[in-house]
């Protein structure tokens, strides 16, 4: 659990974080979204004390981070950044093992954990562990960056636009990997992005930050259906908000149970956006829905278009 | 054979013409050798092979007009022959002269020899440019090996430089040791003080103009003046603390010499330390800090390995500079190869001057090669 309690931060004359309070539950995937300069990265960096707060408190499980030894604190928190920051003179395996080595894990445990992470992040082609960062693609480098952040099994991971510099396909595949890992391990993730689609795709809850303050905090659907004000409405995309909503809602929650349809089926846990894509590509306005290989109902175009709460 | 004058502008033939012209002048005008009745007198000019040498240089000019690849190879071969052969020629001539002369007679290589040798070496350097590194190294090594092998058979024993060395073997070895010790101690101290200073300058930002400015100002003080200026304070130190004096501190000797050399060495070490730290990617530093490395761990396991090649390049320059400057240190009684230079000047014995000078140059070249090798090793590992 991470708590921000009336946090203030200014750089010179400029107020970067203005009396901000927020509580992030354990095991939650929380996304801070906002334009450049809104203070979201600074807020993230107050958690591992890369940025000290001017006033207020940041607490982890009730303990003020300012009272902790900075290095010990950071070794317990995963950290991944957009520019990755792999150590160019160290191999992939050595990069991943950075924090376990700082924590003096026994060598065989480090080896086992490194191998586990390589396969968890789909870096398991032969010889990957002994390669140097400059021989990897951008996507592979960021996979190593994420593996390094997760290496010592931290209960909290901070990620500062980690996928911002990647191409869309690579980004989606990494988002899927991260989401799956987070679900399986119950890690608390605080994730910063300026990409609304990424925020809605990943976050259990999303906090929209503007000018150093949180304008609205809620589930993706909360922000889409009930924007707190015009600034939120603008940021979530105006008329495009309905398109974003399709990406957040699942087929299973919106299908007609028990009904039949022709065509190639879509999965119940796919998003409505995937379903719409399948309808467009198959030229049909209704498709069968399957769950664990069994047909359970149908998804209908008219239901996607009609406004249902 | 297609003869077409190579355009001057392109510059491929220009170095050949200029160097060949220098070679031609060297073959005719100044003396190839000088024969003197004893080691202190300037000898008479002797140029027994002027026609042969002039012919070689004319052949080089002719080759520059040839556009077929063979011309390039013939030129390279000519230059190589000059580099390896001129000393042999001088040695053989000296032996001939001495066969009919008094035991005090000295045969020195003259300006014609040095100029011609330099022109041949520069021509070889120019012709080897662009060839594979192994070829380049091989050519120079072969020339060196030929000279060393010849010297082992006594081919140069007639030349006064070699006779001077044979007469001064023990003092020469001692001076070489002193020179090496001066340079090594200075280098170690420069690294020990300069690297932390550089780290401090880097960490506190560019605002530290005072330190860098002071060191830069020290660079402008002439070395002789700096050595002289240090005599008084060091003499006072030794007087005030006799314990220091017992350790060899004093107005003259090794301590003030090393101190002066250190002052000159500090600026490059500080500068290259800052450059090395700047060469570490900012994102790697940010990640290291965010993952919980302490400052010492960051320095040791990220900044040092990534900045080391730059620092090493700086140390290379410092080593060469210090070996050169250490020559002056002999003036304040610190010994070293400079002693031969200044004693030689005092006695008017040019062979002695040359002996010291050539040894200092050779030492600097060896140090340079050593650091280049180290640098290549670390870069291959990275």
- Token pair listed for A159: 């990620």
Higher pLDDT, B106 or A92: A92
pLDDT of residue B65: 77
Quote ipTM for the complex: 0.83
* Partners of residue A87 in chain B, C-beta under 8 Å: 284, 287-288, 302, 306
How do A2-11 and A55-60 pair as beta strands? antiparallel
How do A205-210 and A213-218 pair as beta strands? antiparallel
* Partners of residue B288 in chain A, C-beta under 8 Å: 85, 87, 98
Cβ distance of B291 and A81 shorter than 8 Å: no
- Token pair listed for B41: 């007198």
Instruction: Say if A99 is an interface residue toward chain B (CB within 8 Å).
Output: yes
| Rg from Cα positions in chain A | 21
- Closest partner residue to B290 (CB to CB) among A72, A76, A79 is A79
Q: Which residues of chain B have pLDDT under 50?
A: 1-3, 5-10
**Is B262 strand, coil or helix?**
helix
Nearest to B264 by CA among B204, B183, B209, B371: B183
Distance CA A43, CA A33 (A): 11
CATH topology assigned to domain B169-381? MetI-like fold (1.10.3720)
Nearest to B282 by CA among A83, A77, A11: A83
Q: What is the pLDDT of residues A19-49, one digit of tens each?
A: 999 999 999 999 999 998 899 999 999 999 9
The pTM score is: 0.77
> Which residues, numbered 302 to 341 in chain B, qualify as contacts with chain A under a Cβ-Cβ cut-off of 8 Å?
302, 305-306
User: Which residues make up the CATH 1.10.3720.10 domain(s) of chain B?
Assistant: 169-381
Q: How far is A223 from chain B (nearest CA, A)?
A: 31
**Is A289 strand, coil or helix?**
strand
Position A132 confidence tier, pLDDT thresholds 50, 70, 90: very high
**Is A207 strand, coil or helix?**
strand
DSSP states along B122-141: HHHHHHHTTS-HHHHHHHHH
Q: What is the pLDDT of residues B219-258, one digit of tens each?
A: 888 887 888 787 777 777 777 777 776 666 666 677 888 8
Pick the residue of B276, B284, B297 with the most A CBs within 10 A to test the interface with A by mutation.
Answer: B284
């Amino acid at each position: 659990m991470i708590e921000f309690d009336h946090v203030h931060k200014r750089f010179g004359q400029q107020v970067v974080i203005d009396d901000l309070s927020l509580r992030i539950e354990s095991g939650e995937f929380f996304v801070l979204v906002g334009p450049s300069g809104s203070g979201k990265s600074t807020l993230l960096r107050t958690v591992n004390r890369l940025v000290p707060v001017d006033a207020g408190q940041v607490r982890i499980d009730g303990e003020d981070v300012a009272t902790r030894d900075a290095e010990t604190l950071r070794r317990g928190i995963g950290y991944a950044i957009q520019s990755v920051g792999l150590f160019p003179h160290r191999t992939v395996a050595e990069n991943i093992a950075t924090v376990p080595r700082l924590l003096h894990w026994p060598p065989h445990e480090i080896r086992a954990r490194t191998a586990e992470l390589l396969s968890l992040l789909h870096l398991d082609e032969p010889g990957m562990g002994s390669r140097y960062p400059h021989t990897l693609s951008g996507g592979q480098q960021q996979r190593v960056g994420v593996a390094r952040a997760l290496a010592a099994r931290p209960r909290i991971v901070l990620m500062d636009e980690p996928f911002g510099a990647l191409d869309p396909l690579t980004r989606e595949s990494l988002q899927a990997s991260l989401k799956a890992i987070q679900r399986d391990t119950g890690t608390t993730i605080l994730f910063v992005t300026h990409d609304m689609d990424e925020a809605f795709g990943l976050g259990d809850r999303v906090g929209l930050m503007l000018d150093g303050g949180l304008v609205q905090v809620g589930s993706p659907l909360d922000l889409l259906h009930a924007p707190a004000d015009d600034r939120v409405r603008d940021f979530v995309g105006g008329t495009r908000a309905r398109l974003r909503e399709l990406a957040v809602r699942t087929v299973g929650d919106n299908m007609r149970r028990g009904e039949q349809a022709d065509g190639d089926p879509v999965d119940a846990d796919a998003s409505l956006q995937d379903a719409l894509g399948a309808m467009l590509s198959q030229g049909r306005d209704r498709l069968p829905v399957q769950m664990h290989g069994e047909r359970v109902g149908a998804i209908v175009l008219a239901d996607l278009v009609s406004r249902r709460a | 054979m297609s003869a077409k004058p190579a355009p001057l502008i392109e510059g491929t033939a220009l170095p050949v013409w200029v160097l060949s012209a220098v070679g031609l002048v060297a073959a005719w005008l100044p003396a190839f050798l000088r024969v003197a009745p004893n080691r202190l007198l300037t000898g008479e000019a002797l140029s027994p092979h002027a026609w042969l040498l002039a012919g070689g240089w004319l052949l080089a000019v002719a080759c520059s007009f040839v556009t077929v690849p063979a011309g390039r190879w013939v030129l390279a071969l000519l230059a190589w022959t000059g580099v390896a052969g001129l000393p042999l020629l001088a040695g053989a001539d000296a032996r001939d002269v001495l066969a009919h002369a008094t035991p005090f007679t000295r045969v020195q290589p003259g300006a014609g020899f040095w100029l011609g040798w330099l022109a041949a070496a520069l021509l070889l350097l120019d012709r080897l440019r662009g060839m594979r590194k192994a070829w380049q190294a091989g050519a120079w090594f072969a020339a060196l090996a030929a000279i060393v092998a010849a010297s082992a058979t006594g081919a140069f024993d007639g030349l006064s430089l070699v006779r001077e060395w044979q007469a001064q073997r023990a003092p020469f070895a001692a001076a070489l040791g002193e020179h090496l010790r001066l340079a090594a101690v200075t280098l170690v101290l420069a690294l020990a003080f300069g690297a932390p200073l550089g780290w401090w300058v880097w960490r506190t930002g560019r605002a530290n103009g005072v330190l860098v400015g002071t060191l830069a100002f020290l660079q402008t003080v002439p070395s002789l003046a700096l050595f002289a200026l240090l005599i008084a304070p060091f003499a006072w130190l030794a007087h005030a603390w006799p314990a220091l004096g017992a350790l060899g501190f004093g107005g003259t000797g090794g301590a003030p010499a090393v101190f002066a050399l250190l002052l000159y060495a500090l600026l490059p070490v500080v500068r290259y330390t800052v450059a090395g730290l700047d060469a570490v990617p900012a994102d790697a530093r940010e990640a290291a800090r965010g993952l919980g490395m302490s400052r010492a761990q960051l320095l040791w396991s990220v900044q040092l390995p990534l900045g080391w090649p730059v620092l090493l390049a700086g140390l290379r320059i410092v080593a060469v500079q210090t070996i050169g400057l250490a020559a002056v240190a002999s003036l304040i009684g610190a010994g070293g190869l400079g002693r031969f230079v200044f004693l030689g000047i005092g006695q008017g014995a040019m062979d002695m001057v040359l002996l010291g000078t050539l040894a200092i140059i050779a030492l600097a070249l060896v140090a340079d090669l050593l650091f280049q090798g180290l640098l290549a090793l670390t870069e291959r590992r990275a």
